[in-house]
Structure 1
Amino acid sequence: MNARAGIWSAFVATWRAMLADKGALTLLFVGCVAYSFFYPLPYSKEIVQRVPVAVVDQDRSAMSRQLTRFAMAHPALDVVAVAPDLPAVQQQLWRGDIMGVLIIPQGLQSDVLAGRAAQAQVAGNGLYLMLNKVALNGLAEVVGTVSAGIELKRLAAGTPSAAQAAAQRAPVRLDAVPLFNVSEGYGAYVVPGVATLIVQQTLLIGMTMLFGTWFQRKSFPLQAGHTARGYVGMLLAFASVALLNCCYFFGFVFWFQDYPRGGNFGGMLVLLVLFSLTVAAFGMLLGMLFRTRERGTQLMIATSMPVLFLAGLTWPVDLMPAPLQALRWLLPSTAGIQGFVALNQLGASLHEIRHEISGLLLLLTACVAIGACRWRALARCETDAAKMPDM
């Protein structure tokens, strides 16, 4: 049997074993499909809108009514109540019926017309951080917009044109344009990175399940045996699963969920192949350490969240202890998450992610070297077991 035929035989045998194992089949293929719809679901709205708020109008003037109208027109706010006093609104706030309150004090319009400093108060429900932030920012924008309008009218009275008044009001213009996360939503920020972790963890769980089953049965599904050809064929089979799942996420899910994508397509393909091979080699090395079907699953599930934090996506790398900053590169997801986000979302070049590529190459080399030694050790064990006489 030549080398190419031996590798192909091991490749096909591994695929047959994966398809014959219902548990592994569910994790390796169905798991990614289920996660692709389940995980982004809580972030489908992307931006919080129509947060319920109330207005306490103690001034009952034309200016207070203008503030109320602006609050009703704000896209992030939903004015559900306008009350003349505070106690009734406080009860709504404590019950969670509203997330914020705009308090317009008595005499607000008189102070503004007299040129005195006037103040309006905003209060929020700190129990829900996201809703509280949107409510307070929205109400503050309402007050700021009305205040700017009043200032423009005063400046217009002393200048020849409204354009000059606007220029004096804001001599330096600021235009905020989000470049990559154009919706500024949490889903577009976290899901592209977590998708890489999902591919890795589902593959590792499925592989450790298969290896545990093969060890328990004392039978590996390889006609080529524990040879170099068998190792390479199995490695390519598992890498093809990771490659298919990555293509599904980056090619379909991101388009379907309308996440930022397509920054550097060619570079992403290169990283896809390297990441798939590295995860497969890492999984084979890990699988050869377990002798039961359940142990690898327990380890992968328990470590999924720490692995995400170590990747530096949701936790600043500089705040990690120095040993963790170095050890985190022993996981394929660290370089994979940073590299895929940079290529697919930010449009980086391969040169700009050279550290991630180098990390994956070194990890792949180490996993293949150690895994091949372990693979040969398994071959020797099988040979010794075959030579032992039956009792």
Structure 2
Amino acid sequence: MSSIVDNIKNWWRTLFRTWINEYCLVFSDLGVLLFFLALPLAYPVTYTLIYNPELVEKVPMAIVDNSRTAESRELARMVDADQYTEVSGYAVDLGEARRWMKERKVYGILVIPEDYAKKIGRKEQAVLPLYCDMSLLLRYRSVLFAMTDIQLQLGADIRTNTINNSPAAFVSSAMGNTVDTESFFLGDVTQGFASFIMIGLVILILQQSLILGILMLGGGSRERRRKNNGVDPEAVKGPVSASLLGEAFCYVTIYMPLTVYILHYVPLMFSLPHYGEAVDYLLFMLPMLFASVFMGQMLRPLVVERESSFLVFVFTSVIFLFLSGLTWPRYAMSPVWFVLGSLVPATWGMQGFIGINSNEATLGDVSTPYMMLWVLAAAYYILAVIITRQANSYDLRHYKVPSVP
């Protein structure tokens, strides 16, 4: 009975000693501080500044006016006056306009056919060929928005003129579109790119910076083991399960103030969507941080040198971004990629935080991502304990100095 009590005391003693010892290791390592502090502090601000202003406006366009009438000139003026587009020049023919597009002078071409004014006068449908550069979807989106608005406005003006010139002119004020729509852009009222991507990207920044710092610490420990017969002299001796949990408490307590800064103050600084309650998203981020820590501890044996952590970081960042559902909806992924994405804490972290922050959901509304993060945290903790034990045993056997007979 006393041995069980001693083991329990030793387990808790190891946990708290590791917790304090890990603070010393973190704050005495300039490289780790760079990724634990400088990266989370600087990246969100830098990225948001790059994505401001949020909308792509005044996209250069070329006009090929084959009609050369008052109606075609009015159409060109509307294109130039729109918020999203501007007329950079009038091309003689489509071939010249295409050369401008190849030279990146314009990113859209509007062709006004010869019979444009004639068809409008005959109350027939006029077709306007539009050529768009699809190399950047944001430019295409701006051109498409502009042409859609102009098309609707032209249609409304033509109907109004038709009614005014008819015997039923007295009811023209009551006439409008047969069916009209009213749009509500929930979660991103400005339709801005930064408001769309930064709210999810900050979660990936938190995860990746945390994992990178843990891997760098692991690489430093591995280097010390090679020099000391497979033993790290700066590590606390004791149960691996207690050591890993003590390290996790250290990292999470360091990252909680950074989480408040990134998730609360950065959106306020740049007027990004910020509607949820702070208590909800801070409680939600707790399992997100633990899951990221244990995932980093599970991957740590892969790093044999401090510099090797950069390879893991660079290799996983792009993959995790694609799997998160931020750039491509997860429901449209194949089952294999969907399952792989579900194993990444940032995937569930993005889904839950976007719901809370942008759509004013409560913690209960995002219960599925919340519970999945706790499941991942528990699973990665168990795997980290098993893998770390095996790695420590391997280091003791591999780096042990052979005895001299």
In structure 2, relative to structure 1, the CA distance for the partners of 1:330 and 1:105 (3 Å cut) is: closer
Residues 89-128 of structure 1: per-residue CA shift (max 9 Å, x gap): 4543343212223333345334433434444443334444
Residues 309-346 of structure 1: per-residue CA shift (max 9 Å, x gap): 22222223234332443343332222222221222222
Residue 221 of structure 1 pairs with residue 224 of structure 2: no
Which whole-Å CA distance do the structure 1 matches of 2:126 and 2:397 have between them? 90
Which whole-Å CA distance do the structure 2 matches of 1:62 and 1:196 have between them? 53
Which secondary structure does the structure 2 equivalent of 1:175 belong to?
A: coil
Residues 243-268 of structure 1: per-residue CA shift (max 9 Å, x gap): 23322210222222322123232221
In structure 2, relative to structure 1, the CA distance for the partners of 1:331 and 1:220 (3 Å cut) is: farther
Residue 297 of structure 1 deviates from its aligned partner by 3.1
Residue 123 of structure 2: aligned partner: 115
Residue 163 of structure 1: aligned partner: 173
- Which among 249, 252, 274 is matched to residue 261 of structure 1? 274
Residue 160 of structure 2: aligned partner: 152
**Is the contact made by 1:55 and 1:103 (CA closer than 8 Å) also made in structure 2?**
yes
Residue 360 of structure 1 deviates from its aligned partner by 1.6
**TM-score of the two chains, using structure 2 as the length reference:** 0.83
**Is the contact made by 2:276 and 2:356 (CA closer than 8 Å) also made in structure 1?**
yes
Residue 236 of structure 1 deviates from its aligned partner by 0.4
Which whole-Å CA distance do the structure 2 matches of 1:229 and 1:94 have between them? 62
Residue 229 of structure 2: aligned partner: none
Which whole-Å CA distance do the structure 2 matches of 1:384 and 1:57 have between them? 80
Q: Percent identity?
A: 24
- Which among 272, 277, 297 is matched to residue 284 of structure 1? 297
Which whole-Å CA distance do the structure 1 matches of 2:80 and 2:394 have between them? 75
Which secondary structure does the structure 1 equivalent of 2:21 belong to?
A: helix
Map 1:180-259 onto structure 2 (within 5 A). Answer: 180-218=187-225, 219=232, 221-223=234-236, 225-226=238-239, 229-259=242-272
Which secondary structure does the structure 1 equivalent of 2:293 belong to?
A: helix
Residue 56 of structure 1: aligned partner: 64
Which whole-Å CA distance do the structure 1 matches of 2:127 and 2:397 have between them? 87
Residues 332-382 of structure 1: per-residue CA shift (max 9 Å, x gap): 222222221222222222233222222222222223334345566788899
Which secondary structure does the structure 2 equivalent of 1:266 belong to?
A: helix
Map 1:82-161 onto structure 2 (within 5 A). Answer: 82=90, 88-156=96-164, 157=166, 158-161=168-171
Residue 289 of structure 1 deviates from its aligned partner by 5.1
Residue 77 of structure 1 pairs with residue 85 of structure 2: yes
Which secondary structure does the structure 2 equivalent of 1:262 belong to?
A: coil
**Is the contact made by 2:64 and 2:110 (CA closer than 8 Å) also made in structure 1?**
yes
Residue 351 of structure 1 pairs with residue 369 of structure 2: no
Residue 390 of structure 1 deviates from its aligned partner by 7.5
**Is the contact made by 2:287 and 2:373 (CA closer than 8 Å) also made in structure 1?**
yes
Residue 149 of structure 1 deviates from its aligned partner by 0.3
Which whole-Å CA distance do the structure 2 matches of 1:121 and 1:30 have between them? 50
Residue 178 of structure 1: aligned partner: 185
Residues 235-293 of structure 1: per-residue CA shift (max 9 Å, x gap): 20012233233222102222223221232322211112221222222222332454432
Residues 58-110 of structure 1: per-residue CA shift (max 9 Å, x gap): 43433233223222221111122246765654543343212223333345334
Amino acid aligned to 1:245: L
Map 1:337-376 onto structure 2 (within 5 A). Answer: 337-373=350-386
Stretches (4+) displaced over 6 A: 1-5, 376-385, 387-390
Amino acid aligned to 1:261: H
Residue 304 of structure 1 pairs with residue 317 of structure 2: yes
**Is the contact made by 2:48 and 2:194 (CA closer than 8 Å) also made in structure 1?**
yes
Structure 1 unpaired stretches of 5+: none
Which whole-Å CA distance do the structure 2 matches of 1:242 and 1:22 have between them? 17
**Is the contact made by 2:63 and 2:112 (CA closer than 8 Å) also made in structure 1?**
yes
**Is the contact made by 2:35 and 2:209 (CA closer than 8 Å) also made in structure 1?**
yes
Residue 49 of structure 1 deviates from its aligned partner by 0.6
Which whole-Å CA distance do the structure 2 matches of 1:220 and 1:307 have between them? 35
Residues 22-69 of structure 1: per-residue CA shift (max 9 Å, x gap): 211111111222322333344222211111123333434332332232
**Is the contact made by 1:226 and 1:375 (CA closer than 8 Å) also made in structure 2?**
no
In structure 2, relative to structure 1, the CA distance for the partners of 1:384 and 1:350 (3 Å cut) is: same
Residues 138-166 of structure 1: per-residue CA shift (max 9 Å, x gap): 23532442232011121233242332222
**Is the contact made by 2:14 and 2:238 (CA closer than 8 Å) also made in structure 1?**
no
Which secondary structure does the structure 2 equivalent of 1:39 belong to?
A: helix
Structure 2 unpaired stretches of 5+: 1-8, 226-231
